[in-house]
Amino acid sequence: MSQPLTVTLETTPELATQLTQLQNVFADVCNAITPIAHDTRCWNRVALHHLVYHNLRERFPQIGSQMVCNAIYSVSRTYRLVFQNPNSPFNIAKLGDKPLPKLHFSPSAPVYFDRHTLSIRNGVVSMYTLDGRIRFRLSISSTDEDRFKNEKLREIVLASQSSGQYQLSFSFAVHNGDTAPQLPALPEYVVLLDNSETLTETALGDVA
């Protein structure tokens, strides 16, 4: 199995503020998408892109076009996880004719990057933020560094920790014969909304 590579970032207070601002706006963009995904029951990435992209670019001019695309990917990925994962209590096959619960991304939701918004060259990371690119050295072993040369990078995720630190997680494509990693059926960073748009007290990750 191809294990993800997770690196804790050595941040300054200024850098942590930049990352927090990006994370908050990214969650806001995701939450602007979720009503459309819910009402249309559309979480196909390409179809959802056509439904929401231009409106999002007008509503969130402070965030780059590619990060809007990454937010669409995040919503599509999360909706597929919640409503199509057979282990999820909200799998659409189990819900039947019941209305789909509405989802809300918390400010701690992870930020997804791609090759346009994060790049690595000679051990130096160049990462998009709302205030422009930031650059820092990635502290990894030579063995891990070789993975970027020899394996296909599939996902790049920035996540905040309870300690206040940030981590970058790099997921690589699964090789033939490998078993795909088991993802949790219900992400901890997603909260249920009832029909009145009121936040419930229970995160999806706490639902049995």
Q: Which range (28-42, 43-57, 147-161, 172-186) has the least confidence? A: 172-186
**Residue 205: predicted pLDDT:** 38
**Residue 194: predicted pLDDT:** 63
Considering the entire predicted model, what is its pTM? 0.86
Q: How far apart are CA 43 and CA 53, in angstroms?
A: 13
> Tokens in use for 158?
């920035």
Q: How far apart are CA 76 and CA 78, in angstroms?
A: 6
Mean pLDDT of 24-30: 97
Q: pLDDT for 194-204, tens place per residue? A: 655 544 433 43
Q: How far apart are CA 176 and CA 7, in angstroms?
A: 26
**Residue 197: predicted pLDDT:** 52
Q: pLDDT for 65-122, tens place per residue? A: 999 999 999 999 999 999 988 888 888 888 878 888 889 999 999 999 998 999 888 8
Beta strands in the chain (DSSP E): 5-8, 102-105, 111-113, 118-121, 124-127, 134-137, 153-160, 166-172, 190-193, 199-203
The residue with tokens 């990060």 is 67
* Alpha carbon 100 to its chain's center: 21
Arithmetic mean of pLDDT over the chain: 85
| Confidence label for 52 from pLDDT (cuts 50, 70 and 90) | very high
Instruction: Please list the residues that pair with 119 across neighbouring strands.
Output: 126
pLDDT at 170 over 60: yes
Terminal Cα-to-Cα distance of the chain (whole angstroms): 28
| Confidence label for 206 from pLDDT (cuts 50, 70 and 90) | very low
Pairing of strands 102-105, 190-193: antiparallel
**Residue 175: predicted pLDDT:** 61
Q: How far apart are CA 76 and CA 19, in angstroms?
A: 23
- Identify the DSSP state of 50: H
Residue with the bigger pLDDT between 2 and 153: it is: 153
Q: How far apart are CA 99 and CA 160, in angstroms?
A: 32
